[in-house]
Structure 1
Amino acid sequence: MSTMSFSIPRTIYYGEGSLEKLSTLKGKRAAIVTGGSSMKKFGFLEQTVALLQKAGIESIIIDGVEPNPSVETVKKGAQSMLDFGPDWIVAIGGGSALDAAKVMWCFYEHPELSFEDIITPGSMPALRTKAKFIAIPSTSGTASEITAFSVITDTAKHIKYPIVAADMVPDIAILDPALPMTMPKHITANTGMDVMAHAVEALASTAATAFTDPYAIQAIKMVLESLPVAYAEPKNMAAREAMHEASALAGMAFTNASLGLVHSMAHKIGGEFGVTHGLANAILLPYVIAYNRKFSDKYDYAEKILGLGDLCKAIDGMNKKMGIPSTFKDCTEVDFNEAKFKEVLDRMSKNAWEDPCTLTNPGKPTIADVKMLFEAAYYGKAVK
């Protein structure tokens, strides 16, 4: 085996009240990056500003990050940072806000770069010449607070690009369960299944190691136990805390082991149709597991450790309990028009096959395999 590495944030604060740690920072200016109005609505944005002020840190707010952050959004945010000159970047909100803030950070530190300059793995230059990064997730799903990943959408090409760079792992992650308690039930479901997809794909990844497997297995266990409770009882603090921690654990696994076809395909069908990433993952996961079982015994390994009869059935069962459809044609979140699906299928399959996450999927999937899986997940067909 070649030399490997294992990276996680230098510091992780977790548990009730952990947001208060912002008041202990040392610095002068902070750029706070957030998405829509939820962090403002529930008072977390105001609290963040006040805690930074208590630390003697002046701040600006860069808001309006959309659910699928675009190249234009990150460029605009980077310009605001260049104008203000922060030494801390504080990303608070869902995965989209955290992902966008990471790439804003890159363009703040290196304004001469274009988006095309950073989309190839290994092309990101060194960060932390101007600022350090804090990530505070409001959803228990993307694990962007832990990872070296960011997903940005090129709206002109209708493609989501996963950007991977070890330097994008945040300096500090704050996991305060008070934030995800504000999530609506459908977002709890979608983001929770994103956690499951991260853990399952990291486990089966061809780059999985003895360092990553324990995090993946524990995350799967915690999602199976706590996601149905968090969905049914939104104010259950123990379940919210467990899901927030499971998300981070899965993130530790996949940022070091990478992912697979579930994410490759979710990135591309999300780019074409605008479907929420976690929902796409939830629908795709059982189909990809069925395909991957031909090449990997890691699902058997997980079932043995966790005492599960069938991981796919367990995932299907959770999806059904939370109202997640088993096929894209039955998905009502966006318009999955069949004519459009057929029109973009070949392009979408090729783009998914070229996605970096495909490189660590078990076996050696072809474009034809990816197309077959898209059709299976759209129509509910058996996986060949």
Structure 2
Amino acid sequence: MNNNFMFNMRTVVLSGEDSIRDIPAQLAAKGAHRVLLLSDVGLESVGLVNKLIGVFEGNKQIELVGVYTDIKADASCDDINKAVQYANKVKADSIVALGGGSVIDASKGIKYSLEHQLDDIRDAIRGGGRIDVGPHVKPFTIPHVGVPTTAGTGAEASPIAVFFNDVEQVKASLVVSGLECDIAVLDPTLTLGLPVPLTVSTAMDALTHAIEAVASPMSNCFTDAYAIQASRLILDNLPKVVSDPSNVNARSELLQASTMAISAFTPR
């Protein structure tokens, strides 16, 4: 086993039914005042966006200054740039991303652009992408919350984001220490409407992350612990959700497994 490594689980995990209610307090503790909610039209149509909007109503510490839902699956650089323009327009100082991997990856690109005052995210990923990891990387200053609605990619805890560079016609990766969300809110009630086939396919994504982490020559005792437990949670709970999609506890543990698996899989 590799004994020379750095393991940094920077993301704070907040898990439980209705845990989204704690988001305003968590953001306030990080100095946020003006929050931008990012999501997509699909989640807006099923009421999840409004559910999250509701947790900010009446809050005197935090103001929800904007809701941006024009983020598409496999977000393009243009999608990122338009969202950045909107964030600047409403003078947002913090981000909440509600969605699957595409939305949360997009939020990372938006955070990166805001932090580095970029008008075009392509400037950061020309030639296929950017890798900038290690203790030399300047910490991000924009409070960032990820609220996953699928239990698969684990994007909320990953310092990797993937976008489609529509000029170069390639998918490009942005890999930067600290790009992951500051806080991952794992609220299983948000996944209750997820169809069983999509629940299964996203769980297989998480299981793949766990298996690859264990098989990696860079694995260590920490990554093995996360990956093996993530695998157990998936194998124990996925059949329960298939049999009973309303099983909140099982869905909660699938979300936990997804976050654990990506934490074992990704570089820091």
TM range, normalised to the smaller chain?
Answer: 0.7 to 0.9
Paired residues of 2:39 and 2:70 also in contact (CA < 8 A): yes
TM-score (norm 1): 0.62
Match of residue 30 from structure 1: 35
Q: Deviations over 1:116-150 (max 9, x none)?
A: 42422118963534x21000000001101111111
Match of residue 4 from structure 1: 5
Instruction: Choose 238-247 or 4-13, whichever is displaced more.
Output: 4-13
Change in Cα spacing, 1:212 to 1:127, as seen in structure 2 (3 Å) is same
Q: Deviations over 1:192-245 (max 9, x none)?
A: 111011111111112211110111011111112212322332111122111111
Quick one: which amino acid aligns to residue 53 of structure 2?
Answer: V
More helix per residue: 1
Change in Cα spacing, 1:231 to 1:98, as seen in structure 2 (3 Å) is same
User: 2: distance between equivalents of 1:96 and 1:31?
Assistant: 17
> For 2:116, which of 110, 114, 129 is the aligned residue?
110
SS across alignment from 2:130:
coil
Quick one: which amino acid aligns to residue 117 of structure 1?
Answer: A
User: 2: distance between equivalents of 1:47 and 1:110?
Assistant: 31
Could you say which structure has the greater relative contact order, defined with CA pairs below 8 angstroms and 6 or more residues apart? Answer: 2
Q: Deviations over 1:72-102 (max 9, x none)?
A: 1111111111222222100011111000011
Quick one: which amino acid aligns to residue 84 of structure 2?
Answer: A
Task: List gaps (5 residues or longer) in structure 2.
Answer: none
Q: CA deviation at 1:158?
A: 4.0
> For 1:229, which of 230, 240, 243 is the aligned residue?
240
Match of residue 67 from structure 2: 61
TM-score (norm 2): 0.87
Paired residues of 1:145 and 1:170 also in contact (CA < 8 A): yes
Quick one: which amino acid aligns to residue 47 of structure 2?
Answer: G
Change in Cα spacing, 1:2 to 1:75, as seen in structure 2 (3 Å) is farther
Quick one: which amino acid aligns to residue 39 of structure 2?
Answer: T
Change in Cα spacing, 1:54 to 1:166, as seen in structure 2 (3 Å) is farther
User: 1: distance between equivalents of 2:132 and 2:49?
Assistant: 34
SS across alignment from 2:5:
coil
Change in Cα spacing, 1:253 to 1:54, as seen in structure 2 (3 Å) is farther
> For 1:95, which of 97, 101, 126 is the aligned residue?
101
SS across alignment from 2:72:
coil
- Rg (Cα) greater in structure: 1
Structure 1 runs of 4+ with >4 Å offset:
none
Paired residues of 1:79 and 1:108 also in contact (CA < 8 A): no
Instruction: Choose 80-89 or 194-203, whichever is displaced more.
Output: 80-89
Change in Cα spacing, 1:55 to 1:36, as seen in structure 2 (3 Å) is same
After superposition, residues 264-279 of structure 1 pair within 5 angstroms as none
Q: CA deviation at 1:2?
A: 8.7
More strand per residue: 2
Corresponding residue pairs, total? 255
Q: Deviations over 1:140-199 (max 9, x none)?
A: 011011111111112344432232111112111100000111111221122111101111
Paired residues of 1:109 and 1:127 also in contact (CA < 8 A): no
Quick one: which amino acid aligns to residue 48 of structure 2?
Answer: F
Paired residues of 1:35 and 1:94 also in contact (CA < 8 A): no
User: 1: distance between equivalents of 2:246 and 2:3?
Assistant: 46
User: What percent of counterpart residues are identical?
Assistant: 29
Quick one: which amino acid aligns to residue 75 of structure 1?
Answer: N
User: 2: distance between equivalents of 1:2 and 1:36?
Assistant: 46
User: 2: distance between equivalents of 1:193 and 1:173?
Assistant: 20
> For 1:207, which of 202, 218, 228 is the aligned residue?
218
User: 1: distance between equivalents of 2:50 and 2:94?
Assistant: 17
SS across alignment from 1:53:
coil
Match of residue 79 from structure 1: 85
User: 1: distance between equivalents of 2:229 and 2:3?
Assistant: 26
After superposition, residues 7-18 of structure 1 pair within 5 angstroms as 7-18=8-19
After superposition, residues 37-186 of structure 1 pair within 5 angstroms as 37-38=42-43, 40-56=44-60, 57-59=62-64, 60-112=66-118, 114-118=121-125, 119-122=129-132, 126-129=138-141, 131-186=142-197
Q: CA deviation at 1:68?
A: 0.8
